[in-house]
Structure 1
Amino acid sequence: MLLSSLVKKIGSRSDDRNINRLELANDVHHLKQVFDRCSKAARIGVWECNLADERLSWTDMVYELFDIEPGTPLVRSEIVAMYSPAALLELQRLRSDAIEQQGGFSLDAEIVTHKGNRRWIRITATVECEDGRPVRVSGLKQDVTAEVMLLEEIRRRADFDHLTGLANRFRFHERLGGLCASETGCALLLVDLDGFKRVNDILGHQTGDVCLVETANRLSAAAENADLVSRVGGDEFAVIYNGASIHQIEAAAARIVAALQWDAGDGIMLGASVGIAWASPGSTSASLYEEADKAMYRAKTSGRNRFVAHRPAGDLDAA
């Protein structure tokens, strides 16, 4: 509204031979101040690149986004070096396509600024042409770091268990289903803590939470080269291996059993029962989970603190 009223004001005065040029200059100066305040509040700036010599022009806010002193001479090769490798590849692709098609593009790009700060900027660009030939690219750059960090946190909460930091049940089933569908050959280890109920009943749920975090740390360390380590609920955990041999899987199960035996306090000993199942052609995530669960139950009923591997009918269990 302010801009349109100023344009009307300037237009009406252009016909007036006695126009007050000082007042007009004040209006333009005021408009620039308003723009600068809005730009700073929104952390958004204007940029332009001349295609003939790759010369860059920035408003002060773009300098601030890159942690560069306003007015510093800009060298495009030095600026694009601040982009992450993935962002730079995407920027180059989009820019080339936009110039060729005489169009535009937008991109959220990660940068590491001149002062070493990690930041996300949203780039919008339009290719300007003269006589049908692209001559410059211009647009806006906005700091969207807070927005990206918020989305990452939302994604993290959706995929990871809030207490232990491991993958949660949703992400576990998603990954297991994908591996079963690809038939690349995966193994599932279900891990259930032995003695954990006594920790909650005697030492309290706060101590129980501490034990779950410790379990997650020990399990992650013992499950070397696992495809995924997850807490699937309560005191039950799961480990997925992809492309590992039977010997490697059973060695991992033995390490897990050993790592999860410790005194939780007041002489309450924790342990782990582990069930193993291997995917075969036609396996689904549900059938593989059921086989591993049955193997884990056999580990519990046969003495706990051990692993049992599921075998097809006619084969012997391994423990």
Structure 2
Amino acid sequence: MREETDVGSALPAAVTARDLWTSAAAPGVFGAWECLLPAQALSWTDGVYDLFGLARGSTLSRSMTLEHYREDSRREMERLRSEAIRTGRGFALDCRIRTPRGEDRWMRLLVGVGRENGRVTRIFGSKQDVTAEKAMWSGLSAAARGEPQTALQGSSGLAQRLREAVRGERTAQADLALAIVDVDGDGKLEERFGHAAASEALRCMNARLARLFPDALLMEPIGPGCFALLLHLPGGQRTLAPTLDGAQTLLARPISHGSQAVVPVMAIGAALSNASHRDDPGKFVAEAEAALLAAKSAGPGRCRIFGGVVTLPVPAGAARH
């Protein structure tokens, strides 16, 4: 559910990753919509009108609303829409739109399919402004390029191996994911547990990663308490997210060292490959590092994928309704 975002300039010094994350996590304009078939009769809630910059309650036509989509987004949306009507399966897509005042926005489109007597009679769903979320990912990626977060970009040997994997014929059509596991992001593992226990924890973490990802195309330490993995995961984000979440749960198990129990507090950031990375593998690294920044900003023990949905963690003990 991701289109390419433009990488802008590095973040101003006063703007932190946490600032971007908090801003992006604030709910954007959100609304519901429905389109009756085959008449193509549209209905929107006020939030969708606001997202498109149109007067609430104004007359809608599908041809008119399509004019607000950027061409690449419109083309992909139309393809997926036709497929949804044909197959009865919904979809999600992030689209670029432009308001009548010329404001460019990112919209997250969720589509469901309704049937009557076995026939698709309507499609419906939600539309949400995710412009701040896209700006966050672009800003974090630019920041990571300007000030690398790990030793991965500075290692010529690792960079060359990554370049070969991204450009290699065997993986050209595959889904590649670059994950960075930071076990000691605050640099206090040794301070909290002592040198021997910290060393044992990192050795154990390396062994756990090897067991969890025996088929990794690349798995290397890239600094104290930090590991890089290049994975072949067909299925994209749908596969990567649960894979990393499950791995994080297993990696975070306490590590025994004498009478001590070392509990790793880690962050994982990952990015999925796309066509632009073949000519610019450094962008792939920057996106994984941007996701690592986002994971750290979201709080301890977090995993984030570049371009993924932004949410703030629920504080411990918060009331549930």
Q: Per the shorter chain, which TM-score range? A: 0.3 to 0.5
The normalised TM-score by structure 2 is: 0.41
The normalised TM-score by structure 1 is: 0.42
Higher relative helix content: 1
- The higher radius of gyration belongs to 1
The one of the two structures with greater contact order (alpha-carbon pairs below 8 A, sep at least 6) is 2
